[in-house]
Amino acid sequence: GQAALLRGPGGVYLSQGIAVVPGATYNLVAYGKSSNSTIFHAIGINFYDINSNRVGQGFARITTTGYQLVNTTVNTPPKQSRYLLP
């Protein structure tokens, strides 16, 4: 799908749980830009186990003031059942 987020003074955090295949490779791709390079901006993926403990993570930092295509490729842990797009 298509969506856009505008970061306000307090920042933006978006989280969505998605089912994944254990041991598979996924590529997260997004366009992003930063108006302040001293603040951390990124797209990312967090992996959680059945007890909601984070067991893995992947991210790509956004560093330019103009839109840039960023991506991160991650392998799901072997017993993974879901991940969150933070």
Tokens found for residue 85: 């797009």
Chain segment 63-84, per-residue pLDDT in tens: 888 889 999 898 888 765 555 5
Burial string for 22-35 (b: 16+ CB within 10 Å, else e) reads eeeeeebebebebe
User: Residue 60 pLDDT more than 80?
Assistant: yes
Q: Is the CB of residue 75 less than 8 Å from the CB of residue 7? A: no
Q: Is the CB of residue 77 less than 8 Å from the CB of residue 26? A: no
Chain segment 33-48, per-residue pLDDT in tens: 887 777 778 888 888 7
Residue 20 DSSP symbol: -
pLDDT value, residue 76:
84
User: Residue 86 pLDDT more than 80?
Assistant: no
Please give the residue that has the higher pLDDT: either 52 or 86.
Answer: 52
Dist CA 28 CA 21 (whole Å): 15
